Structure 1
Amino acid sequence: MKQLYKYILGGITILSFAQCGSSQKFVSQEDVPFQFGEVLVENWTIENSSDTGVNVFFPVENKVDTAIDSVHFRGQVVKPERIKRGTYLVYIARFRNKMSPGDIIMHADPSKEAANAPPIIIKQSPFELDTDEVVISYVQEGETKYYKVSGIKETTPVVYPHKSKN
Protein backbone atom coordinates (compact mmCIF):
# COMPACT_ATOMS: atom_id res chain seq x y z
CA MET A 1 0.00 0.00 0.00
CA LYS A 2 2.89 2.35 0.76
CA GLN A 3 4.26 1.71 -2.73
CA LEU A 4 0.95 2.79 -4.27
CA TYR A 5 1.01 6.07 -2.31
CA LYS A 6 4.60 6.72 -3.45
CA TYR A 7 3.62 6.22 -7.10
CA ILE A 8 0.58 8.46 -6.80
CA LEU A 9 2.57 11.18 -5.02
CA GLY A 10 5.36 10.90 -7.61
CA GLY A 11 2.85 11.15 -10.47
CA ILE A 12 1.23 14.25 -8.98
CA THR A 13 4.64 15.86 -8.48
CA ILE A 14 5.69 15.20 -12.08
CA LEU A 15 2.40 16.54 -13.45
CA SER A 16 2.64 19.70 -11.36
CA PHE A 17 6.12 20.47 -12.72
CA ALA A 18 5.04 19.67 -16.27
CA GLN A 19 2.53 22.55 -16.12
CA CYS A 20 5.26 25.16 -15.44
CA GLY A 21 6.41 25.27 -19.06
CA SER A 22 2.95 26.06 -20.36
CA SER A 23 2.30 28.94 -17.95
CA GLN A 24 2.95 31.56 -20.66
CA LYS A 25 -0.41 31.85 -22.36
CA PHE A 26 -1.07 33.83 -25.52
CA VAL A 27 -3.76 36.49 -25.59
CA SER A 28 -6.35 36.57 -28.36
CA GLN A 29 -6.60 39.24 -31.08
CA GLU A 30 -9.48 40.93 -29.24
CA ASP A 31 -7.37 41.43 -26.09
CA VAL A 32 -4.34 42.97 -27.81
CA PRO A 33 -4.15 46.78 -27.66
CA PHE A 34 -2.24 46.84 -30.97
CA GLN A 35 -3.78 46.66 -34.40
CA PHE A 36 -0.99 45.65 -36.77
CA GLY A 37 -0.76 46.17 -40.48
CA GLU A 38 1.05 43.54 -42.54
CA VAL A 39 3.95 42.13 -40.49
CA LEU A 40 6.96 41.69 -42.79
CA VAL A 41 10.29 39.87 -42.53
CA GLU A 42 13.32 41.23 -44.38
CA ASN A 43 16.51 39.15 -44.62
CA TRP A 44 19.65 41.25 -44.91
CA THR A 45 23.34 40.75 -45.48
CA ILE A 46 26.41 42.97 -45.72
CA GLU A 47 28.36 42.46 -48.94
CA ASN A 48 31.85 40.97 -48.64
CA SER A 49 31.08 40.02 -45.04
CA SER A 50 29.69 37.14 -43.01
CA ASP A 51 27.22 39.47 -41.25
CA THR A 52 23.61 38.47 -41.91
CA GLY A 53 20.34 38.90 -40.12
CA VAL A 54 16.61 39.45 -40.24
CA ASN A 55 14.49 42.55 -39.60
CA VAL A 56 10.83 42.10 -38.60
CA PHE A 57 8.55 45.11 -39.18
CA PHE A 58 5.37 45.69 -37.13
CA PRO A 59 3.38 48.66 -38.48
CA VAL A 60 0.86 49.81 -35.85
CA GLU A 61 -2.42 51.08 -37.30
CA ASN A 62 -4.04 52.44 -34.12
CA LYS A 63 -2.90 54.85 -31.42
CA VAL A 64 -1.82 52.97 -28.28
CA ASP A 65 -0.02 53.87 -25.08
CA THR A 66 1.35 50.34 -24.55
CA ALA A 67 4.81 49.59 -25.93
CA ILE A 68 6.16 46.29 -27.24
CA ASP A 69 8.64 44.93 -24.71
CA SER A 70 10.31 42.15 -26.74
CA VAL A 71 9.96 40.12 -29.93
CA HIS A 72 10.56 36.35 -30.17
CA PHE A 73 11.43 35.00 -33.62
CA ARG A 74 13.25 31.89 -34.87
CA GLY A 75 14.66 30.99 -31.46
CA GLN A 76 15.90 34.47 -30.56
CA VAL A 77 14.51 37.37 -28.55
CA VAL A 78 15.30 41.09 -28.98
CA LYS A 79 13.96 44.44 -27.83
CA PRO A 80 12.41 46.21 -30.84
CA GLU A 81 13.17 49.73 -31.98
CA ARG A 82 10.19 52.12 -32.01
CA ILE A 83 10.06 54.52 -34.95
CA LYS A 84 7.41 57.23 -35.11
CA ARG A 85 7.10 59.76 -37.92
CA GLY A 86 3.97 61.88 -37.67
CA THR A 87 1.07 59.48 -37.24
CA TYR A 88 3.05 56.54 -38.63
CA LEU A 89 4.33 54.11 -35.98
CA VAL A 90 6.36 50.98 -36.66
CA TYR A 91 8.37 48.65 -34.46
CA ILE A 92 11.47 47.04 -35.99
CA ALA A 93 12.99 43.95 -34.39
CA ARG A 94 16.56 43.45 -35.63
CA PHE A 95 17.84 39.88 -35.34
CA ARG A 96 21.44 39.05 -36.09
CA ASN A 97 22.52 35.61 -37.25
CA LYS A 98 25.48 33.97 -35.65
CA MET A 99 28.60 35.24 -37.30
CA SER A 100 32.19 34.13 -37.42
CA PRO A 101 34.37 35.72 -34.76
CA GLY A 102 36.79 37.15 -37.34
CA ASP A 103 40.48 37.50 -36.59
CA ILE A 104 41.41 36.67 -33.02
CA ILE A 105 44.69 37.98 -31.66
CA MET A 106 46.50 35.44 -29.50
CA HIS A 107 49.65 36.90 -27.93
CA ALA A 108 51.77 36.55 -24.81
CA ASP A 109 51.24 40.27 -24.17
CA PRO A 110 47.69 40.72 -22.78
CA SER A 111 47.52 44.33 -23.97
CA LYS A 112 47.66 43.11 -27.59
CA GLU A 113 44.86 40.61 -26.93
CA ALA A 114 42.70 43.45 -25.59
CA ALA A 115 42.02 44.48 -29.20
CA ASN A 116 39.85 41.36 -29.68
CA ALA A 117 36.15 42.12 -30.10
CA PRO A 118 33.91 40.71 -27.36
CA PRO A 119 31.54 37.92 -28.41
CA ILE A 120 27.99 38.81 -29.33
CA ILE A 121 25.55 37.20 -26.92
CA ILE A 122 22.27 36.17 -28.54
CA LYS A 123 19.32 35.72 -26.16
CA GLN A 124 17.38 32.51 -26.70
CA SER A 125 13.58 32.50 -26.83
CA PRO A 126 11.61 30.02 -24.68
CA PHE A 127 8.97 29.63 -27.43
CA GLU A 128 9.03 26.97 -30.14
CA LEU A 129 7.71 28.72 -33.24
CA ASP A 130 7.38 27.96 -36.94
CA THR A 131 9.45 30.05 -39.35
CA ASP A 132 6.39 32.17 -40.22
CA GLU A 133 5.42 32.90 -36.59
CA VAL A 134 6.52 35.62 -34.20
CA VAL A 135 5.59 36.34 -30.58
CA ILE A 136 5.49 39.83 -29.13
CA SER A 137 5.45 40.54 -25.42
CA TYR A 138 4.12 43.71 -23.86
CA VAL A 139 3.30 44.88 -20.36
CA GLN A 140 -0.28 45.91 -19.66
CA GLU A 141 -1.45 46.86 -16.16
CA GLY A 142 1.74 45.43 -14.66
CA GLU A 143 1.28 42.02 -16.29
CA THR A 144 3.43 40.66 -19.15
CA LYS A 145 1.28 39.38 -22.00
CA TYR A 146 2.21 37.46 -25.13
CA TYR A 147 0.63 37.63 -28.57
CA LYS A 148 1.47 35.27 -31.43
CA VAL A 149 1.35 36.51 -35.02
CA SER A 150 1.20 33.77 -37.66
CA GLY A 151 1.53 33.86 -41.43
CA ILE A 152 4.10 36.65 -41.65
CA LYS A 153 5.42 37.36 -45.13
CA GLU A 154 9.03 37.62 -46.31
CA THR A 155 10.10 40.48 -48.54
CA THR A 156 12.99 40.64 -50.98
CA PRO A 157 16.37 40.25 -49.23
CA VAL A 158 18.50 43.40 -48.90
CA VAL A 159 22.27 43.60 -49.42
CA TYR A 160 23.91 46.52 -47.66
CA PRO A 161 27.27 47.90 -48.85
CA HIS A 162 30.30 47.05 -46.74
CA LYS A 163 31.74 49.99 -44.79
CA SER A 164 35.48 49.83 -44.31
CA LYS A 165 37.07 50.83 -41.01
CA ASN A 166 39.34 53.37 -42.75
Structure 2
Amino acid sequence: MGRFKYIICIMLLGLFSCSSQKKLQTEIPFELGNASCQVYSGGLESSGSGIAVKIPVTMDNASDVVMKEIFFRGKQAQVTMEQVDGANYAMAKIPNSKGGSAETTALELGATDAVLSYIENGKLKYTKITGIKEKQPLLYKGKPKN
Protein backbone atom coordinates (compact mmCIF):
# COMPACT_ATOMS: atom_id res chain seq x y z
CA MET A 1 0.00 0.00 0.00
CA GLY A 2 2.85 2.39 0.86
CA ARG A 3 4.54 1.72 -2.46
CA PHE A 4 1.29 2.46 -4.33
CA LYS A 5 0.99 5.89 -2.65
CA TYR A 6 4.62 6.62 -3.51
CA ILE A 7 4.04 5.80 -7.20
CA ILE A 8 0.87 7.93 -7.32
CA CYS A 9 2.73 10.88 -5.76
CA ILE A 10 5.55 10.60 -8.32
CA MET A 11 3.05 10.48 -11.19
CA LEU A 12 1.15 13.53 -9.92
CA LEU A 13 4.37 15.45 -9.44
CA GLY A 14 5.36 14.66 -13.02
CA LEU A 15 2.01 15.79 -14.39
CA PHE A 16 1.95 19.11 -12.55
CA SER A 17 5.57 20.00 -13.25
CA CYS A 18 4.94 19.91 -17.01
CA SER A 19 2.38 22.71 -16.82
CA SER A 20 4.92 25.15 -15.36
CA GLN A 21 7.08 25.05 -18.50
CA LYS A 22 6.92 28.00 -20.87
CA LYS A 23 4.96 27.27 -24.03
CA LEU A 24 6.25 29.28 -26.98
CA GLN A 25 3.64 30.81 -29.27
CA THR A 26 4.13 30.26 -33.00
CA GLU A 27 1.45 32.76 -34.02
CA ILE A 28 1.72 36.15 -32.33
CA PRO A 29 -0.61 39.18 -32.60
CA PHE A 30 2.24 41.54 -33.56
CA GLU A 31 5.12 41.55 -36.01
CA LEU A 32 8.78 41.52 -34.95
CA GLY A 33 11.53 43.05 -37.08
CA ASN A 34 15.25 42.28 -37.06
CA ALA A 35 16.35 42.41 -33.43
CA SER A 36 19.76 43.68 -32.36
CA CYS A 37 21.84 43.82 -29.21
CA GLN A 38 24.71 46.04 -28.16
CA VAL A 39 27.11 45.79 -25.25
CA TYR A 40 27.44 49.10 -23.41
CA SER A 41 29.92 50.26 -20.82
CA GLY A 42 29.70 53.53 -18.90
CA GLY A 43 32.76 55.70 -18.46
CA LEU A 44 32.31 55.85 -14.71
CA GLU A 45 32.22 52.88 -12.36
CA SER A 46 28.78 53.96 -11.14
CA SER A 47 27.47 54.05 -14.74
CA GLY A 48 27.51 50.29 -15.02
CA SER A 49 27.68 48.06 -18.05
CA GLY A 50 25.57 45.45 -19.71
CA ILE A 51 23.77 44.69 -22.93
CA ALA A 52 20.92 46.55 -24.60
CA VAL A 53 18.39 44.65 -26.72
CA LYS A 54 16.29 46.46 -29.34
CA ILE A 55 13.42 44.74 -31.20
CA PRO A 56 11.30 46.53 -33.84
CA VAL A 57 7.62 45.78 -33.17
CA THR A 58 4.60 46.46 -35.39
CA MET A 59 1.39 46.28 -33.35
CA ASP A 60 -1.38 47.08 -35.85
CA ASN A 61 -4.23 45.10 -34.26
CA ALA A 62 -2.63 44.29 -30.92
CA SER A 63 -3.74 47.12 -28.65
CA ASP A 64 -4.47 44.66 -25.83
CA VAL A 65 -0.87 43.33 -25.79
CA VAL A 66 1.62 44.40 -23.12
CA MET A 67 5.31 43.48 -23.42
CA LYS A 68 6.74 42.15 -20.14
CA GLU A 69 10.23 40.62 -20.08
CA ILE A 70 13.03 39.34 -22.23
CA PHE A 71 15.15 36.28 -21.47
CA PHE A 72 18.55 36.62 -23.17
CA ARG A 73 21.96 35.04 -22.57
CA GLY A 74 21.02 33.58 -19.20
CA LYS A 75 19.50 36.79 -17.82
CA GLN A 76 16.14 38.47 -17.82
CA ALA A 77 15.03 42.11 -17.85
CA GLN A 78 11.88 44.19 -18.06
CA VAL A 79 10.89 45.36 -21.54
CA THR A 80 9.75 48.91 -22.26
CA MET A 81 8.09 50.11 -25.44
CA GLU A 82 9.71 53.18 -26.99
CA GLN A 83 9.05 55.13 -30.16
CA VAL A 84 12.10 56.17 -32.21
CA ASP A 85 11.66 58.05 -35.51
CA GLY A 86 8.02 56.93 -35.73
CA ALA A 87 8.79 53.23 -35.23
CA ASN A 88 7.95 51.19 -32.12
CA TYR A 89 10.66 49.21 -30.35
CA ALA A 90 10.67 46.77 -27.47
CA MET A 91 13.78 47.79 -25.51
CA ALA A 92 15.58 46.17 -22.60
CA LYS A 93 18.80 46.97 -20.78
CA ILE A 94 20.31 43.99 -19.01
CA PRO A 95 22.99 45.08 -16.51
CA ASN A 96 26.02 42.84 -16.01
CA SER A 97 25.54 42.96 -12.24
CA LYS A 98 22.24 41.12 -12.48
CA GLY A 99 22.74 37.34 -12.15
CA GLY A 100 20.90 34.69 -14.08
CA SER A 101 17.69 33.33 -12.66
CA ALA A 102 16.27 29.82 -12.51
CA GLU A 103 13.82 30.70 -15.28
CA THR A 104 16.50 31.78 -17.74
CA THR A 105 18.87 28.91 -17.08
CA ALA A 106 16.07 26.41 -17.78
CA LEU A 107 15.62 27.87 -21.27
CA GLU A 108 17.84 26.35 -23.94
CA LEU A 109 18.78 29.38 -26.04
CA GLY A 110 21.70 30.10 -28.32
CA ALA A 111 23.79 33.29 -28.13
CA THR A 112 21.58 34.95 -30.78
CA ASP A 113 18.24 33.73 -29.39
CA ALA A 114 15.88 35.26 -26.85
CA VAL A 115 12.41 34.68 -25.44
CA LEU A 116 10.00 37.62 -25.18
CA SER A 117 7.11 37.43 -22.73
CA TYR A 118 3.92 39.41 -23.22
CA ILE A 119 0.39 39.56 -21.88
CA GLU A 120 -2.48 39.09 -24.30
CA ASN A 121 -6.08 39.14 -23.04
CA GLY A 122 -4.83 38.69 -19.46
CA LYS A 123 -2.72 35.61 -20.27
CA LEU A 124 1.07 35.49 -20.07
CA LYS A 125 2.55 34.17 -23.33
CA TYR A 126 6.04 33.66 -24.75
CA THR A 127 7.60 33.86 -28.20
CA LYS A 128 11.10 33.01 -29.35
CA ILE A 129 13.27 35.48 -31.24
CA THR A 130 16.13 34.13 -33.33
CA GLY A 131 19.00 35.73 -35.24
CA ILE A 132 19.64 38.71 -32.95
CA LYS A 133 22.46 40.70 -34.56
CA GLU A 134 25.19 42.02 -32.28
CA LYS A 135 26.31 45.60 -32.97
CA GLN A 136 29.67 47.13 -32.09
CA PRO A 137 30.04 47.85 -28.34
CA LEU A 138 29.04 51.29 -27.12
CA LEU A 139 31.78 52.57 -24.82
CA TYR A 140 31.11 55.84 -23.04
CA LYS A 141 34.12 57.92 -22.09
CA GLY A 142 34.80 58.73 -18.46
CA LYS A 143 35.16 62.13 -16.86
CA PRO A 144 38.27 63.90 -18.21
CA LYS A 145 41.17 64.11 -15.78
CA ASN A 146 42.62 67.59 -15.19
Q: TM range, normalised to the smaller chain?
A: 0.7 to 0.9
DSSP 3-state at the match of 1:90: strand
Partner residue of 1:11? 10
Displacement of 1:142: 1.0
* AA aligned opposite 2:142: H
Following superposition, which runs of at least 4 residues in structure 1 exceed 6 angstroms of deviation?
none
Displacement of 1:25: 0.7
- Counterpart pick for 1:35 among 31, 34, 41: 31
**Map of 1:143-162 to 2, 5 A cutoff?**
143-162=123-142
Distance 2:37 2:123 in 1: 28
- Counterpart pick for 2:53 among 52, 56, 67: 56
Residues 61-114 of structure 1: CA distance to partner in whole angstroms, max 9, x if unpaired?
45342231222222322222322146311121111001xxxxxxxxxxxxxxxx
Displacement of 1:158: 1.0
- Counterpart pick for 1:124 among 101, 110, 113: 101
- When normalised by structure 2's length, the TM-score is 0.78
Structure 1 range deviating more: 37-46 or 73-82: 73-82
**Map of 1:108-123 to 2, 5 A cutoff?**
none
Displacement of 1:13: 3.0
Identify unmatched segments of 5+ residues in structure 1. 99-120
User: Would you tell me which structure has more strand in proportion to its own residues?
Assistant: 2
Provide the aligned C-alpha RMSD in A.
Answer: 2.6
Please say which structure displays the higher CA radius of gyration.
1
Distance 2:80 2:14 in 1: 40
* AA aligned opposite 1:84: Q
Distance 1:4 1:55 in 2: 53
Identify unmatched segments of 5+ residues in structure 2. none
Partner residue of 1:70? 69
Displacement of 1:130: 2.6
Partner residue of 1:25? 23
Displacement of 1:14: 3.4
